[in-house]
Chain A
Amino acid sequence: MNGATSVFVSDVDFSFWLIFIISALCLVGITGFVIFSIIKYNRKNNPEPTHIEGHTGLEIVWTVIPTILVMFIFYFGMKGFIKMRSVPENAMEIQVDAGMWWWKFTYPNGLEQTTGQGLTVPVDTPIYLPLHSVDVIHSFYIPAFRVKMDVVPKAEGEKLNYTWFEAGKPGDYDLFCAEYCGLNHAQMLSKVHVLSQEDYDAWFAEASKAQAKLKSESPGKALLISKGCIACHSTDGSKLIGPSLKGLIGKTETVLTDGAERTITVDDTYLRRSLNEPAADIVKGFQPLMPPLPLTPQEVDDLIQYIHELSEETAE
């Protein structure tokens, strides 16, 4: 893999430096000529200008040469692009979900990884990534791999955007959202962890087991992670984008309903309404930012159950 961080790096960087060298030469040439002229043909040195209206030969030269150069640049750019769009047959699929302001990576066996955990992949293995957005447009960007593709919300049944990569060197790399998606756009950061095949296998077995355990023991907590709730709602009492879930049951809150303030006590009915219609009641001091989530009644019950558990922990 000649040490590059991903298979695209050599093509992209070749194009980049090719354009860079051509650009630098042009800029130095133009600027050099301007400076030369300012000195040589200054009014003091050259009070009488020479009458020149143009030179057809010269104009043909500086039309034809740039045309040839840009066609070369176009060709190499296209070559690298076609590679980015051609996913190898044997690629491993990891589904990417994005929402305000979280990432989720789902492996073929159902293992889910969140923003904080990051995307863990084996080295030298092509990874195919269908990109799904639950709300607005995000953009999946790993600078070190030269990979970027917008995560566009699609109508039911439409084909998802995709990208792929093959990492070449174990390590941790930044993963950014590159399309403005609101308040916490700049915090929609995650990591890609590239592991050797051996380490990856060990990690994968361990993580899958841990998730299965969590799902059976506390389905509510598992949902809280997999639905991305914890990006905005803390479980330790700290204030994020939305109210913390700690000690919520029985708490008295002032909420805005249809523009009017009222005081409520948090109970199951209130939580169910807030989960199904997030914009119905907005707790004072927060913005109406939570998107409606597609939740089954069972999932809503599991979440409410977990919020109860969090409140009981506080009571103890």
Chain B
Amino acid sequence: MEPSQSGSYLQSHTSSRWTKGFMSWFMSTDHKRIGIMYGVSMFSFFGLAVLLGFFIKLQKLFPAASGWEIIPPELYGSFFTLHAVIMIFLFIVPGAPAILGNFFLPLQIGAKDVAFPRVNLLSYWLYLFGAVMAVAGIVLGGADTGWTFTPPYSVTTKTISLFGFTVDSVSWMLVATFILGWGTILTGINFIVTIHRMRAEGMTFFKMPLFTWSIYATSWLQVLATPVVGITLLMIVIERILPVGFFDPAKGGDPILFQHLFWIYSHPAVYIMILPSMGLISEIIPTNSQKSIFGYKSIAIASCSIAGVGYLLWAHHMFTTGISDFAAILFSFLTFLVAIPTAIKVFNWTATLYKGSIVLTPPMLFALAFIFNFSIGGLTGMFLGSLSTDIHLHDTDFVVAHFHYTMFGGAAFGIIAGIYHYFSKMFGKMYSMKWANRSFIFMFIGFNTLYFPMLILGFFGMPRRYHTYPDIPVYNNLQMLSTFGSWILVTGVVLVLGTWIHGLIKGKRTTEQNPWNSSTLEWQTATPPTLFNFEEAVVVTREPYDYHGFREDVKNGKAAGVIHD
């Protein structure tokens, strides 16, 4: 029996034996189901990491001198390591491409699925296997290397037995990260091929929506950068198990070599994290302003230039490691170059609002908060790209606040905005607007109350990864304020997840195709989409953000930019 083409993808309609319940999802090669499985897995891990972050901040409420200790120092190292490993490798690096990219990339370019649906499912399995392995490793054995795994510490650190198990959890976690890397590489290849080969008729590169552009740039980064970190982490495993010394100077190795190899991946990874969210913002702002995005081509080109220049900046994480002065100056110069396409994007989004018809929906609120938070994240990056100020601020709370402004206030706010934006399309149900708005207020205020004080703490020299801090009034006050912020923020996260879960279970059913009146292709099909996305073959005739033409067509009763033949 041929699979039925009509009917929502949420209903079971495959002819295989995996037709019902859990297996109809776990064995599904449908890009939409895979996207949702990623979403459920990733937000579960995200919740766990938020909880760890909550305890990390709680530990900093008072200085040690006051006798305050919520987490003993042995556990503190494992807490911030697990928090970072989950947030980075299990959530923010694969997040937007895996959840929303999987779901909406084929829809945005008018394809039936990704190019290699089975490889896509394999990517998910690799992700899940690696993720469970990484978390189990740290939970059973404890690992306090930080997500940067810096040797020689990561080579010499003894694993701490927590529940009577003695696991070499550092090696375990490194192998898990290696496996996760495979999933990422396969997803990247899959998306690149999909974009090159599966676009609908009329969908030229410069008619692609900007989210697709950002996924395209990201995928190249994933394919080219991830193998470097994979091999580098395996080298640490080899060094831990066998008597070889790549990085341990006692055995003739060089610990700085590791940092070069690690950041050659991990700096581009920063753009893997942020670019897809920038793409989502580029969808949400035009939709909620009913207006063409300002400078479509320059945003598309900026995505690719950020991805390109992003490869050449890695050593700006290493100005204090003793790399040559010439290298430091060169990398500082290159770092300032990447500031320019980033600034262009922010200006373009802002200019899009001008003379629009703006409506403050929950996704729009998160998108505008993205612009604010990400601007702070980008601007504080200049303090760290500039050499003399970086020497002072490096490895302080300033850096921690800076990357949370880009990764959390930026990338994660972008993903949350994206899910609020696409919720009804994905599930055929709508969340409560009232609670969505409340979740936004808590998230935005909590986020800034948590992280802004950390910028100031860093300026006053508060080093990062400290279990406690010297009893100095300026530290005490700002740390306490920051901890208060964490309580508001955690409330916000609970409200966001709660609003979604409530929406899934009790939300109002909807089959409205295009509730926000968006001009891009993914909205011009059934809600929720059918198995093969579009009922009929798609021919694209219009620019993606031609709201003028789109509104004319809607008035005349035509579907937007799509001709059904």
Residues of A participating in the B interface, judged by any CB pair closer than 8 Å: 8, 11-12, 15-16, 19-20, 22-23, 26-27, 30-31, 33-34, 37-38, 41-43, 46-55, 58-59, 62-63, 66-67, 70-71, 73-74, 76-85, 135-137, 139, 141, 143-144, 146-150, 152-155, 158, 161, 174, 176-186, 189, 287-289, 291
Are B73 and A186 interface neighbours, CB within 8 A? Answer: yes
Q: Which residues does chain A contribute within 8 Å of B354, judged by CB atoms?
A: 33, 37, 41, 52
8 additional contacts (CB under 8 A) given A30-B371, A38-B368? A12-B389, A15-B389, A16-B389, A23-B382, A66-B343, A70-B339, A70-B340, A180-B153
B441: min CB distance to chain A, Å: 15
A43-B357 contact, Cβ under 8 Å, with A136-B156, A148-B395: yes
Residue B29 is within 8 A (CB to CB) of chain A in the complex: no
B327: min CB distance to chain A, Å: 12
Are A59 and B298 interface neighbours, CB within 8 A? Answer: yes
Task: List B residues 356-377 near A (Cβ within 8 Å).
Answer: 356-360, 368, 371-372, 375-376
Q: Which residues does chain A contribute within 8 Å of B77, judged by CB atoms?
A: 180, 182-183
Are B383 and A19 interface neighbours, CB within 8 A? Answer: yes
CA distance A12 to B358 in the complex (A): 43
Number of residues of chain B lying within 8 A (CB) of chain A = 90
Are B470 and A54 interface neighbours, CB within 8 A? Answer: no
Contact of B359 among A30, A43, A144, A148 (CB under 8 A): A43
B312: min CB distance to chain A, Å: 15
10 A-B pairs with C-beta separation under 8 A: A11-B388, A30-B372, A55-B295, A76-B388, A148-B320, A149-B322, A153-B255, A155-B254, A178-B463, A180-B465
A177-B463 contact, Cβ under 8 Å, with A50-B291, A81-B387, A154-B249: yes
Q: Which residues does chain B contribute within 8 Å of A11, judged by CB atoms?
A: 388
Residue from A51, A84, A289 with most neighbouring chain B CB atoms (10 Å): A51
Q: Which residues does chain B contribute within 8 Å of A22, judged by CB atoms?
A: 379, 382
4 smallest CB-CB distances across A and B, nearest first, come from: A143-B461, A80-B388, A77-B386, A81-B387
A289: min CB distance to chain B, Å: 7
Are A152 and B470 interface neighbours, CB within 8 A? Answer: no
Q: Which residues does chain B contribute within 8 Å of A154, judged by CB atoms?
A: 249
Are A41 and B357 interface neighbours, CB within 8 A? Answer: yes
Q: Which residues does chain B contribute within 8 Å of A137, judged by CB atoms?
A: 150, 152-153, 255
A12-B158 contact, Cβ under 8 Å, with A34-B350, A153-B152: no
Contact with A along B307-338 (1 / 0, CB 8 A): 00000000000011110010011001100110
B245: min CB distance to chain A, Å: 9
Q: Which residues does chain A contribute within 8 Å of B253, judged by CB atoms?
A: 155
Q: Which residues does chain A contribute within 8 Å of B434, judged by CB atoms?
A: none
Contact of B320 among A73, A144, A150 (CB under 8 A): A150
Are B152 and A78 interface neighbours, CB within 8 A? Answer: no
Are B249 and A155 interface neighbours, CB within 8 A? Answer: yes
B347: min CB distance to chain A, Å: 5
CA distance A11 to B389 in the complex (A): 9
B146: min CB distance to chain A, Å: 6
CA distance A183 to B463 in the complex (A): 15
Are A84 and B388 interface neighbours, CB within 8 A? Answer: yes
Are A135 and B152 interface neighbours, CB within 8 A? Answer: yes
Residue B500 is within 8 A (CB to CB) of chain A in the complex: no
Contact of A66 among B298, B340, B466 (CB under 8 A): B340
Are B395 and A186 interface neighbours, CB within 8 A? Answer: no
CA distance A139 to B322 in the complex (A): 11
B78: min CB distance to chain A, Å: 11
A282: min CB distance to chain B, Å: 10
Are B392 and A143 interface neighbours, CB within 8 A? Answer: yes
Are B153 and A152 interface neighbours, CB within 8 A? Answer: no
Are A37 and B461 interface neighbours, CB within 8 A? Answer: no
